[in-house]
Amino acid sequence: MDYTWRWFGPDDPVSLADVRQAGATGIVTALHQIPNGALWPVDAIRERQSMIAAAGLRWQVVESIPVPEAIKLGTSGWQELADIWAASALNLAKCGIMTICYNFMPVLDWTRTRLRHVMDDGAECLRFDRVDLALFDLFILKRAGAAADYNTETHAEAERRFATMDADARTSLTDTILAGLPGSEESYTLDGFRAQIGQYRDINAEQLRLNLRQFLQHVVPQLAPAGVRLAIHPDDPPRALFGLPRVVSTADDLDAIVQMHPDPANGFTFCAGSLGVRADNDLPAILRKHAARIYFLHLRNTLRDPVSALSDGVAGESFQEAAHLDGNANMAALVAEILRIEAARGHPLPFRPDHGHALQSDLRGPYRPGYSAVGRLRGMAEIRGIEHALKHLKTT
């Protein structure tokens, strides 16, 4: 396995020296300073690449070139924006960076309702709570039609919680959802978020799939000859939010994406945490089925809340980030599948330990929620242990 690390650039509290000491050899990053929809120049790519190389590492995966909302909406001018997106990818290929992780989530990138949920051992993790989402949707955002998306029990509990929240707590929840999490592509005010949601009024899941299909049909012919590998990331969480459709959430969704363009350049990021939130996603089976098109791996784990009336009887409506070996996903089984894929290909797959808990010294200084140093180091070490144990067992 090829050990990589998400790095957010020179202002990341985790330095490149820290990354190297953690045992990673590759970096996953992006030019976050460039606005969405603008071209990534070769000079800027090479400057960042040289910075990484000077630390004894290499820029291995791009995460990500943001896909502008006009492309997701399929509105006038989307083709020109798709051409700029493809030109950025080709500039990366000129620098030897071939794998691009991207997502097609409308309006919001990955979403959580709490950034510093305190665990029993004092560590902090990310949490998504459906009732808190409903509270925000119903009583802070006040989205038209929101009431129809929640059952009676959820509505009542959201109203009860809202009544007990002070102004600071309401602001904190709003900022957590709208201000942009690490790696998110946009941040919004309440009015701006309402306006963005309004643009999707006539976009259902079927239409969003058509827009993803036309995007792939437009860019893949430009990128495939250069050897670029596109690796779409699953929705996070893998369900509709705020009435917005999501189309990269289930095994069926992945099957549909394969049919959108036959070229192998049309591939996937396998995120165990995102896909694993849904109990109906068989993670090892997804790995096996799409082995030829998986170009990047996010190995993290999530723990689903028990099924209850507040979850509409569905597991995973609320969840939190678990330690890498302690959630609902069987990490050992996933690593075993990954090693089989690598053996068939004859080369390792890049993975990164994702969304580690904040532990020990992480808690005594600034850290990006989900991207702590010690927590991710722990996850990387645990996965390395699984890999070495499985390889040892195979040779004895």
| Contact criterion met (CB below 8 Å) for 222 and 90 | yes
Over pLDDT 90: what percentage of the chain? Answer: 89
Please tell me the distance from the alpha carbon of residue 201 to that of residue 144, in angstroms, as a whole number: 11
* pLDDT, mean of residues 39-61: 98
The catalytic residue among 354, 357, 362, 367 is 354
Over pLDDT 70: what percentage of the chain? Answer: 97
How many Cα atoms sit within 13 Å of 352 on the Cβ side?
25
Predicted pLDDT at 306: 87
Contacts of 82 (CB under 8 A, 6+ apart): 71, 215, 218, 219
Residue whose token pair is 């363009």: 261
Q: What is the DSSP string of 9-20?
A: -TT-SS-HHHHH
Active site residue 298: yes
| Contact criterion met (CB below 8 Å) for 241 and 200 | no
The catalytic residue among 132, 355, 357, 367 is 355
Active site residue 324: no
Contacts of 239 (CB under 8 A, 6+ apart): 246, 249, 277, 278, 317
Tell me the three state secondary structure of residue 182.
Answer: coil
Active site residue 371: yes
Please tell me the distance from the alpha carbon of residue 6 to that of residue 11, in angstroms, as a whole number: 13
Predicted pLDDT at 185: 62
User: If we measure between CA atoms, which residue out of 185, 379, 161 comes closest to residue 272?
Assistant: 379
How many Cα atoms sit within 13 Å of 233 on the Cβ side?
29
Residue 224, pLDDT > 80, answer yes
**Phi first, then psi: what are they for 320, rounded to 5°?**
-140, 160
Question: How is domain 2-395 classified at the architecture level of CATH?
Answer: Alpha-Beta Barrel (3.20)
Q: If residue 21 lies in a helix (H) or strand (E), which one and from where to where? A: helix 16-22
The catalytic residue among 155, 298, 324, 357 is 298
Active site residue 233: yes
Active site residue 150: no
Please tell me the distance from the alpha carbon of residue 110 to that of residue 379, in angstroms, as a whole number: 20
Q: Which pLDDT band, with edges at 50, 70 and 90, does 316 fall under?
A: low
Predicted pLDDT at 180: 60
| Domain ranges (residues) in the chain | 2-395
Residue 352, pLDDT > 70, answer yes
Mean pLDDT of the chain: 94
Classify residue 246 by burial, with Cβ atoms within 10 Å: 0-12, 13-18, 19+: buried
Residues 100-134 have pLDDT tens digits of 999 999 998 889 999 999 999 999 999 999 999 99
Beta bridge partners of 266: 230
Counting DSSP H helices and E strands in the chain, the numbers are 14, 12
Q: Which pLDDT band, with edges at 50, 70 and 90, does 181 fall under?
A: low
User: If we measure between CA atoms, which residue out of 71, 32, 299, 313 comes closest to residue 185?
Assistant: 32
Predicted pLDDT at 184: 60
Q: What is the DSSP string of 352-376?
A: EE-SPPB-GGGGGS---TT--HHHH
Please tell me the distance from the alpha carbon of residue 40 to that of residue 46, in angstroms, as a whole number: 10
Please tell me the distance from the alpha carbon of residue 332 to that of residue 121, in angstroms, as a whole number: 24
The catalytic residue among 102, 150, 188, 371 is 371
Residues 146-164 have pLDDT tens digits of 999 999 999 999 999 999 9
The catalytic residue among 155, 233, 261, 290 is 233
Chain CA centroid to CA 86, Å: 21
Residues 193-216 have pLDDT tens digits of 999 999 999 999 999 999 999 999
Predicted pLDDT at 309: 72
The catalytic residue among 271, 290, 295, 362 is 271
Active site residue 392: no
Please tell me the distance from the alpha carbon of residue 80 to that of residue 261, in angstroms, as a whole number: 20
